[in-house]
Chain A
Amino acid sequence: MSRRSKTLSCPDEQATGNIAEALGAGLRPGDTVLLEGGIGAGKTFFARHLIQSLLLVPEDVPSPTYTLVQVYDAAPGEIWHCDLYRLSDPSQCIELGLEDAFDTAICLVEWPDRLGSLAPVGALTITLAATGTEGARALELSWTDPKWETRLEGVAT
């Protein structure tokens, strides 16, 4: 499978939020989105928008930095929002139950480099970066699994 990619540029937070919602609308249990980018790139912002657009009952979406994982009940199924920054070894990801969640839930993973070889091959990777003006972001989406061609049909700036 060859890697395909798509770059989107978002002039403001609203545009980034819209992409998160559009992506969320197509997600199914078993889909994993890996969110890459440094501190302040907007990973949690993106995940929060996506989750809130799918929640059955509105609720807080706090940062998962300290709790590592927050699990939500959403329309298409369970959503796992993970921040792996504080982990040092892929074995800890197994202890968190991530391997099973990759099969049964929608997983949004921040700092996915901690996964090592555990990263699902079918995942969508989104790399966020702050660009010139305040609030603007560049999003690079890349994938190998052909399922993302249809999942991403409604996603555009």
Chain B
Amino acid sequence: MPGHANTGIVRNSPECYLPNSIQATARLMTDRLTILGIESSCDDTAAAVLRREPDGDTQILSSVVVGQEALHRDFGGVVPEIAARAHAVKLDGCVVDALSEAGVSLSDIDAIAVTAGPGLIGGVLSGVMLAKGLSAGLGRPLIGVNHLAGHALTPRLTDGLPYPYLMLLASGGHCQFLIVRGPDSFSRLGGTIDDAPGEAFDKTARLLALPQPGGPAVEEAALSGNPERFALPRPLLDRPGCDMSFSGLKTALLRQRDQLVEAEGGLRQSDRADICASFQAAVCDVLTVKARRALKTYLNESPAEPAFAIAGGVSANQTIRASLKALCAEHDVRFTAPPLRLCTDNAAMIAYAGMEQFIAGHRDDMTLTARPRWPLDRSVAPLIGSGKKGAKA
């Protein structure tokens, strides 16, 4: 594919491309592989053990995620583990639990895969430091994994999708369309220029005094609402391409709410339901229209077994899921959505992405560092978002 020759993730050690390593790789394809994955780039601390049998069958032996119990409803969201210290305290226990649940010991581990970015630097660093220590102590290879690559490769772990497949990654912090070509090769077709849709759901819940996390709360309220009562904007639909914008939707919703409060002295339950339904319809429309365009670009490449996967917390929304599923059916494209526990942050996806990259011959050394920003596709221009105004630079 012209123009995508240099989209691979830059590695720290060029040695991994040496011929003897390629021979080792060929041998690896026939070995049983046990990979430890470590993830600490966001709110949660996680460790997992993954095993690939010589016939290619891959199973998650364990996947431990710590941090979700810190859900703090009064405060309105997950209390973030901002400090490296907080992750570091949990990491050791996470790894011990993951090994014990998997019924393996450290000496059974063939390689250690760790999220090396993007994310909050303190958290990422504590994971990377632990992985380096384990790698050095055990004498086993180290693989730094892009957190987003973990999400993007999950449909291969869960559904065995063949490359290349189209992917919508939509969560609280991310929203992008990718063509996934290989463990290290991604083409971004477009993404949000401001807020991610998960964030828009959370903020809608905040604006309407609904509980957090906002995704399920807004979806539930929308069930009894009229999606056509309020004409909320569908930003960027008039612009070609797959870029999206959700920030203006939030502002429009705020104005609608204030008008209702002024006219009626407060929000009735039916108002809330109608706002939620109208908001959800707007997000769904934007994602579906842009997905249609992304699908067209992808299908132009004539993939042998066309498939579209959606991952990230937003994939749990049934309205959005049904709309994208219908779109795929219309184009005779296979549709998949990994189960939610593998769509939210976890270390099994990191172990899996690490495993694919390990088989492809990638290795990192002790110079591996935490990268707060790490785009999956380095060949495309950044989304220079500024609302309707577009590029400023």
Q: Is the interface of B mostly helix, strand, loop or mixed?
A: loop
B1 in contact (CB, < 8 A) = no
- Whether B194 is near chain A, meaning CB under 8 Å from some CB there, is yes
The answer, yes or no, to whether B382 is at the interface (CB within 8 Å) is yes
- Evaluate contact between A39 and B119: CB separation under 8 angstroms: no
Which residue of chain A has its CB nearest to the CB of B78?
Answer: A86
Chain A residue numbers with a CB within 8 Å of B121 are 71
Tell me the bound Cα distance from A58 to B383 in angstroms: 9
Name the one of B42, B82, B388 contacting A87, with C-beta atoms under 8 angstroms: B82
Contacting A63 at CB < 8 Å: which of B75, B199, B207, B392? B199
Separation of A44 and B121 alpha carbons in the complex (Å): 21
Q: Are A52 and B80 in contact (CB under 8 A)?
A: no
CA distance A45 to B172 in the complex (A): 18
Against B, the Cβ 8 Å flags (1 = close, 0 = not) of A81-93 are 0000011100010
A52 touches B77 (CB 8 A): no
- The answer to whether B382 and A39 touch across the interface, beta carbons within 8 angstroms, is no
Measured between beta carbons, the chain A residues less than 8 angstroms from B392 are 17, 49, 52-53
Inside 8 A of A96's CB, which chain B residues have their CB?
82-83, 122
B254 and A39 within 8 A (CB): yes
B229-252 vs A, CB cutoff 8 Å, 1 = contact: the mask equals 000000000000000000100111
Q: B80 near A14 (CB under 8 angstroms)?
A: no
- Tell me whether A48 and B393 are in contact (CB under 8 A): no
**CB of A131 to closest CB in B, whole Å:** 11
Asked if B173 is at the interface of the complex by the 8 Å CB criterion, the answer is yes
- With beta carbons under 8 angstroms apart, the residue of B80, B206, B384, B388 that contacts A60 is B384
Whether the Cβ atoms of B196 and A39 lie closer than 8 Å is no
Contacts of A67 in B (CB 8 A): 119-120, 173
Q: Is the CB of B389 within 8 A of A134?
A: no
Given contacts A44-B247, A130-B254, contact A13 B382 (CB under 8 A): no
Which residue in A14, A40, A58, A88 is a CB contact (below 8 Å) of B251?
Answer: A40
Given contacts A13-B388, A69-B120, contact A134 B255 (CB under 8 A): yes
Contact with A along B44-82 (1 / 0, CB 8 A): 000000000000000000000000000010010111101
Assess whether A95 is in contact with B83, with CB atoms less than 8 Å apart: yes
Chain A interface, DSSP helix/strand/loop, else mixed? loop
- Minimum CB–CB distance from B234 to chain A (whole Å) comes to 15
By a CB distance below 8 angstroms, the chain B residues around A152 are none
On whether the beta carbons of A40 and B75 are closer than 8 Å, the reply is no
Complex CA–CA separation, A64 to B195 (angstroms): 9
Find the A residue at minimum CB distance from B191: A60
Q: Please, which residues of chain A bring their CB within 8 A of the CB of B388?
A: 13
Question: What's the nearest-Cβ distance from chain A to residue B16, in Å?
Answer: 27
CB distance from A86 to the nearest CB of B (A): 5
Compute how far the CA of A115 lies from the CA of B80 in the bound complex, rounded to whole angstroms. 16
Chain A 128-142 interface residues, beta-carbon cutoff 8 Å to B:
130, 134
- Contact string against A for B residues 147-180, beta-carbon threshold 8 Å, 1 for contact and 0 otherwise: 0000000000000000000000000110000000
> In the bound complex, what is the Cα–Cα distance between A13 and B386 (angstroms)?
9
Bound state CA distance, A70 and B247, in angstroms?
18
Q: Which residues of chain A (36-92) have a CB below 8 Å from chain B?
A: 38-40, 42, 44-45, 48-49, 52-53, 55, 58-63, 65-71, 86-88, 92
Cβ-closest chain B residue relative to A21: B392
Distance in angstroms between the alpha carbons of A61 and B384 in the assembled complex: 7
Q: Produce 1/0 per residue, A1-34, CB < 8 A to B.
A: 0000000000001100100000000000000000
Please tell me if the beta carbons of B83 and A62 are within 8 angstroms of each other in the complex: no
* Complex: A17 Cα to B194 Cα, angstroms: 15
Are the C-beta atoms of B199 and A66 separated by less than 8 Å?
yes
Does B385 touch A at the CB level, under 8 Å? Answer: yes
Contact A58 B384 (CB under 8 A): yes
Chain A residues, Cβ within 8 Å of B82: 68, 87, 92, 95-96
Are B251's CB and A130's CB within 8 A?
Answer: yes
Q: Does B8 contact A (CB under 8 A)?
A: no
Chain B 249-283: CB-based contact to A (< 8 A → 1; otherwise 0): 01111110000000000000000000000000000
Q: How far is the CA of A88 from the CA of B82 in the complex (A)?
A: 11
Task: Provide the bound-state CA to CA distance between A71 and B27, in Å.
Answer: 42
Residues of chain B with a CB closer than 8 A to A97's CB = 122
Residues from chain A with a CB closer than 8 A to the CB of B10 are none
A65-B199, A86-B79 as given contacts; A52 in contact with B206, CB under 8 Å: no
Contact B385 A60 (CB under 8 A): yes
Which A residues lie at the B interface, using CB under 8 A? 13-14, 17, 38-40, 42, 44-45, 48-49, 52-53, 55, 58-63, 65-71, 86-88, 92, 95-97, 130, 134
Q: List 10 A-B contacts (CB under 8 A).
A: A40-B203, A45-B247, A48-B194, A59-B373, A62-B196, A67-B119, A67-B120, A87-B82, A92-B80, A130-B254
Given A17-B386, A65-B173, list of 5 further CB < 8 A pairs? Answer: A40-B254, A44-B247, A58-B381, A62-B192, A66-B173
